[in-house]
Amino acid sequence: MLKDKVAIITGGTRGIGFEIARVFLENHAKVVIFGSKKESVNQALASLREEGYDASGYYPNLSDFNQIAQVVQGIKDKYGHIDILVNNAGISANKKIEDTTVEDFQKIMDLNVNGMFNMTKAVVPFMKEAHDGVILNTSSMVSIYGQPSGVGYPTSKFAVNGMTKSLARELGSFNIRVNAVAPGVTNTDMVAALPKEMIEPLIKTIPLGRIGQPRDIANAFLFLASPLASYVTGEILSVDGAARS
Ligand code: NAD
């Protein structure tokens, strides 16, 4: 479904992003993963290679626009075009507001919001030039209802939805579609890091009776990246087993 499309996936070294990379490769995209460290990027590329897939990877600081612009220019020079951007890198939080420092809050916004803005700003000129492109953002079910602690995380994901809907309107006339996927609780390291007391009550509220697997989420990204979603833009697609917390 993505034959010869060039896709950049941030946070592509593990969890949801790694599975998006895998499902895009299965569908014949050319995949470039971004991670936070050289070692994790190399490890992810090695795992993909073991499965028979050839991808490339970088580890720019997503808070640094100039660094990103340089790397993105290099990708454009190498492949000739950039068709799909998946802004997936993100960190979570679970402290009460009294325990959340100004720096904690800033750190989340820097990656989850500023990083997304920086990546998008770097890629859009090439998509405009091609009059073609797909931008996909990883939101969260907490972007709809908030959560009872770790306020920076839902705040950042509300911003993700705002950026998604606004850029869909701004870029539609350039044939660039912008959508987000809002996963529910998904079986990744991010969830493993959260306290049991937070996760177990959540699972009880999920009508499908289980947490999501990375593949459940990656398939939604595949749909939105593919021509099957040619008239879908500005959408926040919940993929959460109907969890409503
Ligand atoms: P994960 O912790 O398994 O993976 C996070 C990815 O982000 C990694 O590839 C990591 O390299 C990258 N990353 C982390 N910090 C970074 C930094 N400072 N700079 C660059 N990259 C960095 O998490 P995941 O569960 O796969 O989460 C991926 C996305 O899905 C996030 O945006 C998260 O908010 C969202 N999400 C996850 C869940 C869930 O339950 N797991 C639910 C809803 C939304």
CATH number at residue 141: 3.40.50.720
Range(s) of the domain holding residue 208: 6-239
- Reading the block at residue 166, the tokens are 């606004």
Tell me if 119 is assigned to some domain. Answer: yes
- 16, containing H or E segment: helix 15-26
- pLDDT of residue 67 exceeding 70, the answer is yes
Active site residue 79: no
Residue with CA at minimum distance from ligand 1 atom 21: 36
Residue with CA at minimum distance from ligand 1 atom 3: 15
CB distance 140 to ligand 1 below 6 Å: yes
Tell me if 1 is assigned to some domain. Answer: no
Tell me if 244 is assigned to some domain. Answer: no
Q: What length does the chain have?
A: 245
Contact 54, 228 (CB under 8 A): no
Q: Which of 58, 145, 153, 231 is catalytic?
A: 153
**Atom of ligand 1 at shortest distance to CA of 139?**
44
pLDDT in tens, 183-240: 999 999 888 887 888 788 878 889 998 999 999 999 999 999 999 999 999 999 999 9
pLDDT in tens, 85-111: 999 999 999 999 999 999 999 999 999
Tell me if 13 is assigned to some domain. Answer: yes
Contact 184, 205 (CB under 8 A): no
| DSSP secondary structure string for all residues of 93-160 | ----GGG--HHHHHHHHIIIIIIHHHHHHHHHHHHHHHT-EEEEEE--THHHH--SS-THHHHHHHHH
Tell me if 227 is assigned to some domain. Answer: yes
Q: What is the mean pLDDT of residues 116-127?
A: 99
CB distance 60 to ligand 1 below 6 Å: no
How many structural domains comprise the chain? 1
Q: Which of 88, 25, 85, 33 is nearest to 58 (CA)?
A: 33
For ligand 1, the distance from its centroid to the CA atom of residue 173, given in whole angstroms, is 31
